[in-house]
Amino acid sequence: MSLRVTINAMGAGGDGVAQLPDGQVFVPFTLPGEIANVARDKNRASLMALLETSEQRVEPSCRHFEDCGGCALQHWEMSAYQAWKRSLVAASLDGRGLKYELAPLVPCAQQSRRRATFAIRKTEAGLLLGFNRHQSHELINISECAVTVPAIISRLDDLRKVAIHLADGAKPFKLTVTDTESGLDLAASGCPTPDDAARRILTPLMMELGFARLSVDGEIILEPKKPLITFGKVPVNIPSGSFLQATIEAEEAMVALVIGHFKKVKKAADLFCGVGTFALRMAETMAVHAVENDAPALAALDRGIRHVQGLKPVTHERRDLFRRPILYKDLNAYQGIVFDPPRAGAEEQAMQIAKSSVPKVAAVSCNPVTLARDLAILVKGGYKIDKIIPVDQFLWSSHVETVALLSKK
């Protein structure tokens, strides 16, 4: 049975929100002010028909929008969308009672995301490669994508040629594709390791198509070329599946913010450093101690710095900062700290930073909620928030990256 609703607001997850007598109902692909007929299932609903549309509704950029679950907000006019995304950061900070200056959102260009994780399944009609429908396990076969770099999307048919030899019957699996300077890096998961017969087919095929590497669940199957990403002056052979910022433009913007904040810093620590996104660029002007729990990422960073001249000293340490945060007495050796943890944030490490006397701190996060929690800890410890900069590197999604710059006298 259909239900007529008015969309009152946009939820934090990118769905329109209708306020009904018995609570909120979330309706994907709607905008504030719109009136719609929906099919309700508890606190979620499917859009059946739009009766009145918002003036902010625009034509989506991709033919797969609403079918493919990759994007949530292509139908929203850009300035309104960006204001909403900026408000997600403000709401989390306000919820902690923080005082801050919120900078304009750093925008994201279309077709700039350098990594995509495709869902794949073999069917009687052929191989499906794409993304799952919104709130569904149904796989939508795609022919274009408005957010992913052309270097990946232009090779969809070639990716299917490789994926067909990894498929195990009708069982779905994932293929993460990263655009690197040496070619596309393919990392499959959830499928069997290719047997000898499959490898005999895949070896010349990978060479012919010019792909850099193929791995399955972290095991390298073929590596015709080492996948390289350059951070500042340092080319790094990235491990399979290693963390990267979603877009090069966002990465460079965030690094510039951190380095600008560290102008007078001579010695800094990069916590949760990954393969060296911040550390290797910072090392051009300051000594850096890089800390990370991922051994392959640290090994890649180490190999990178061994062959580059002109950098300040870079040391590194493998350490689980969730279980063993660096103590404040040891942090006092640095004039600057940048930390970029996973979505869970860095609560324990933030407590130690708060006790330290480090003059400059930069916090980077893809989760405004845990970032606000960590910033509240730092502020309680005597830090002042100089500026908050939201970065939209996850275009048309509900995710937003944030850089927070703090100081302590």
Distance (Å, rounded) from C-alpha 141 to C-alpha 39?
A: 26
* 101 shares a domain with 166: no
Mean of pLDDT values over 332-347:
97
Residue 4 has a CB neighbour count (10 Å cut-off) of 12
CB-based contact 351:325 (threshold 8 Å) = yes
Alpha carbons 363 and 249: distance in angstroms, whole number: 18
Instruction: Decide: 290 and 316 in contact? Cβ < 8 Å.
Output: yes
Dihedral angle over CA of 395, 371, 230, 293, nearest 10: -130
Closest Cα partner for 61 from 170, 179, 145?
Answer: 145
Strand-pair partners of 189: 174
Say yes or no to pLDDT of 137 above 90.
Answer: no
Residue 378 has what pLDDT?
98
Residue 366 annotated among the catalytic residues of the structure: yes
Residue 190 scores a pLDDT above 80: yes
Do 336 and 397 reside in the same domain of the chain? yes
pLDDT score recorded for residue 170: 81
pLDDT of residue 343: 94
Task: Categorize the per-residue pLDDT at 168 as very low, low, confident or very high, splitting at 50, 70 and 90.
Answer: confident
- Range from 42-46, 153-157, 206-210, 322-326 carrying the lowest mean pLDDT: 42-46
- The predicted model scores a pTM of 0.94
Q: Is residue 393 part of a domain?
A: yes
Residue 81: pLDDT above 80?
yes
298 and 211 together in one domain: no
Q: Which tens digit of pLDDT belongs to each residue from 254-293?
A: 999 999 999 999 999 999 999 999 999 999 999 999 999 9
Pick the closest to residue 158 from 218, 210, 226 (CA basis): 210
Report which residue type is found at 265. V
Rounded Cα–Cα distance for residues 97 and 314 (Å): 38
Q: Give a yes or no: residue 34 inside a domain.
A: yes
Confidence grade of residue 136 (pLDDT, cut at 50, 70, 90): confident
> Cβ–Cβ contacts within 10 Å for residue 372, how many?
26
- In eight-state DSSP terms, residue 326 is P
184 and 302 share one domain: no
Domain holding 305: CATH number? 3.40.50.150
**Domain range enclosing 46:** 2-57
- Please indicate, yes or no, whether residues 125 and 47 belong to a single structural domain of this protein: no
**Number of structural domains in the chain:** 3
Q: What is the mean pLDDT of residues 105-130?
A: 95
Residue 173 maps to a domain = yes
H or E stretch covering 374: helix 368-380
Nearest of 172, 224, 214 to residue 193 by alpha carbon: 214
65 within some domain:
no
- Contact indicator for 61, 366 with CB cutoff of 8 Å: no
Residues 217 and 263 in one domain: no
Query: Does 135 lie in the same domain as 88?
Result: no
Query: Quick one: 33 and 153 in the same domain?
Result: no
The tokens for 8 are 């009152």
Angle at 389 between CA 349 and CA 98, to 5 degrees: 60
Q: What's the mean pLDDT when you consider all of the chain?
A: 96
Amino acid letter for position 331: L
Counts of helices then strands in the chain (DSSP H, E):
10, 21
Is residue 174 within 8 Å of residue 240, measured between CB atoms?
no
- Please indicate, yes or no, whether residues 196 and 288 belong to a single structural domain of this protein: no
| CA-CA-CA-CA dihedral for 96, 102, 104, 107, to nearest 10 | -40
End-to-end C-alpha distance for the chain, whole angstroms: 62
Dihedral sign, CA of 277, 278, 280, 284?
Answer: positive
Judge if 23 and 127 occupy the same domain.
no
Last residue of a domain, one of 228, 261, 282: 228
- 275 and 319 fall within a common domain: yes
Task: State the Cα–Cα distance between residues 184 and 223, nearest whole angstrom.
Answer: 11
Contacts 24+ apart (CB under 8 A), 17-22: 18/45
Say if 71 falls within a structural domain: no
Does residue 66 lie in a domain region? no
pLDDT by residue (tens digit) across 20-54? 999 999 999 999 999 999 999 999 999 999 999 99
**179 annotated binding-site participant:** no
Q: Please give the structure tokens belonging to residue 384.
A: 């002042």
Is the pLDDT at 1 greater than 80? The verdict is no
Predicted local distance difference test score (pLDDT) of residue 125: 87
Residue 19 labelled as part of a binding site:
no
Same domain for 26 and 6, yes or no, is yes
Q: Name residue, tokens 């100081």.
A: 407
The predicted pLDDT at position 88 comes to: 97
Residue 245 annotated in ligand binding: yes
